[in-house]
Structure formats: structure tokens, C-alpha cells
Amino acid sequence: MSAVSQQSQVVDNIQAARSAPLLVRLGRHFRRYGALWLMVLPTLIFVGLFAYVPMYGLRLAFYNFDPAKGLMGGTFAGMKYFNQFFKSGMFVNILTNTLRISLWTLVMGFIAPIILALLINQIASTKIKSFVQTVTYMPHFISTVVIVSMINIFLAPNTGMIGRLFPNTNLLAKADLFTPIYWITEVWQHMGWNCIIYLAALSSVDLALYEAAKIDGAGRLQLIRYVDIPTILPTVGIMLIMNMGSVLNVGFEKVFLMQNSMNLSASEVISTYTYRIGILGNQFSYSTAIGLFNTVVNFFFLVLANFISKRASDTSIF
């Protein structure tokens, strides 16, 4: 009896709290969570200013840039700058370059860490395992400038360690070698680091699974095929979605640093082109339009991959 009345008392209190005027409720909220709001406030300011204000600035893609007014103002231009981009001779060239470089890097950079993780997971000795990990993570921390200068040194015609093997050819000047050089070095640099996440997933395998499989007569390869691979599959799904969101995002720094006048036909990508015509050429509206096109395509692929993955395997990031 008393429990029931107590309960109805609580319900009444909750209802009273809910029906209190908005200002009173807000006041109560801030009195209780004021400290949390203070902690999150700097982040909100920085993200608002440096991420959302530029997002608002995307309107420039539809307006003629007015130097006096900056991000605001300018006369309406409609789709003018997009049409200019789609009709320009560069469009097909830089779009195929971007896709070629990014797809090669995505596919190879995606497979390599998975294989490496499966291999490292087979090492029984913790010492050797951590040695292999230490070595393979290391290049991840080397700067792009240094990586590219290492590429230049190793491939230098006649003197470089690899360049020497191809007398009288300059590997760095061959346009059709740009993509392979790019993705191979990319895999070299990030393979070890990117496999950590799979190693983490693999370390959670229930050892009883191995035993059960072994009793069923599974050999070592079958253990990988039927225990290890299914274990990392959800992680693989998440990583695939995240990667899909950057189909048109080829890292600016590395492409820019690897570019030279001889390989430009294969190495001009959207981000370097935006830099060239925007920052160096001062065509702000045109450059913003290209950037927006890039972002929208990426976003589309991210949503698409997320949708497919949700349908296929119940794995999604949102």
C-alpha cells in the first residue's frame, strides 16, 4: 500500500518537474550540469569557429567572390562555377587521377594490414611479436616530407638504390609509375599502424574456439580461415565504411610533394588543383566549388557504404 503511494508520489514529482516552466527547467539543468557545459564549451567554440564557419563559407561556391566582403557577400552566381569545372579540360583528367590513386591506395592499404595482422597473430613468442610490431609501426611517425625525400633518394636515376637498377631511366619522371610509387610507399608507411586495430580484435578470440576447431580436425590454415577471419570481420566492415568516406580524398601533402613537371598528367588531383587555382591563382569561388564537389562525393560514398554495410552485416557507424 505504502509502496504504491510512494510510487505515485515519485510520478507526481516527475510530472511536476516536467511541467515546470522552461526557464525553471533550464535553470535546474545548468545548475546541475554547469560544470560539464564549461568543460565542453572550449571545444564547441573551436569547432564552431574553425569547422562550422568555413562550412557556411561554402556558399562562396554559388556566389562571385568579393574581396571586400570575404566569406559573406558577393553576387549570386548559381551553378556557374560548377559548370565551369565540369566543362573544363581538367575535369576528366583530375577526376580519373584522383580516383586511380585513391582506389589503388584504398584497396591495397586496406588488404595489407589485414594480412599482416593475421600473420603477426600467428607469432607465439611475445618478444618477437612486440619486436615485429615496433618495427612495422615506426614508419607511421615519419613525416611526409621525409618519406617523399626518401623516395626521391632511392629512385634517383643512376645513384639511388632502386634507380640504379634501371640505367638511363628516370623513374620519378614517368607518369604511369606515379600511382604505383604512391600506393606502395603508402602501404609501406601505414601497414603496421593500421593493423593494430585488427590485432586488438584478434586478441579477443576465445581460445576455446581454437580448441573446438582443432578437435574438429582443423589445421593451422583452417584456424585462420574459420576462426581468425570471422573474428575480425565486423572490424573490417567498420574500417571499410570509414575508408569509403575518403574515396576522393587523396592526401594533399604527399601528392603535392611528389609532383613534378614530368608526372603532372598523372599526379594532378582535386586537392592539389584546388590549392593551385585557389591559393596560388586567387580564384576563390571556382576553387570552393571544386572543393564542395569533392566533399559531397565523399559524403555520398560514406552514406552509401554505411547503408550497404548496415543491410549486409548489421555493422554501421551511424
Residue 50 interacts with another protein (CB under 8 A)? yes
Closer CB to another protein, 37 or 307, in the complex: 37
Among 220, 311, 312, 314, binds another protein (CB under 8 A): 220
Binding residues among 133-172 for another protein as defined by CB under 8 A = 133-139, 141-146, 149-150, 152-154, 159, 161, 164
- Three-point CA angle 9, 11, 13, nearest 5°: 70
Question: Cell for 159?
Answer: 645513384
Furthest-apart CA pair in the chain: how many Å?
Answer: 97
* Residue found under cell 564552431: 48
Closer CB to another protein, 91 or 300, in the complex: 300
Binding residues among 79-108 for another protein as defined by CB under 8 A = none
C-alpha to C-alpha distance for 119 and 198, rounded to whole angstroms: 11
Beta strands in the chain (DSSP E): none
Question: Cell for 27?
Answer: 535553470
Question: Cell for 83?
Answer: 559548370
Residue 33 interacts with another protein (CB under 8 A)? yes
Closer CB to another protein, 1 or 220, in the complex: 220
Closer CB to another protein, 3 or 122, in the complex: 122
Other CB atoms within a 10 A radius of the CB of residue 70 amount to 12
Task: Output the smallest distance, CB 181 to another protein, in A.
Answer: 13
Residue 44 interacts with another protein (CB under 8 A)? yes
C-alpha to C-alpha distance for 113 and 198, rounded to whole angstroms: 8
Residue 76 interacts with another protein (CB under 8 A)? no
C-alpha to C-alpha distance for 255 and 98, rounded to whole angstroms: 10
Instruction: Give the containing element (helix H, strand E) for 179.
Output: helix 178-194
Closer CB to another protein, 57 or 88, in the complex: 57
Residue 318 interacts with another protein (CB under 8 A)? yes
Residue 215 interacts with another protein (CB under 8 A)? yes
Other CB atoms within a 10 A radius of the CB of residue 247 amount to 20
Count of residues engaged in binding another protein, rule: CB under 8 A = 99
Task: Output the smallest distance, CB 89 to another protein, in A.
Answer: 21
C-alpha to C-alpha distance for 138 and 134, rounded to whole angstroms: 6
What does the DSSP assignment read for 83-151? HHHHHSTHHHHHHHHHHHHHHHHHHHHHHHHHHHHHHHHT---HHHHHHHHHHHHGGGGS-HHHHHHHH
Closer CB to another protein, 8 or 25, in the complex: 25
Binding residues among 228-267 for another protein as defined by CB under 8 A = 235, 238, 245, 252-253, 256-257
Task: Output the smallest distance, CB 29 to another protein, in A.
Answer: 8
Other CB atoms within a 10 A radius of the CB of residue 232 amount to 22
Task: Output the smallest distance, CB 207 to another protein, in A.
Answer: 4
C-alpha to C-alpha distance for 94 and 71, rounded to whole angstroms: 27
Binding residues among 284-313 for another protein as defined by CB under 8 A = 284, 287-288, 291-292, 294-295, 298-299, 302
Candidates 41-49, 77-85, 99-107, 173-181; binding stretch for another protein (CB under 8 A): 41-49
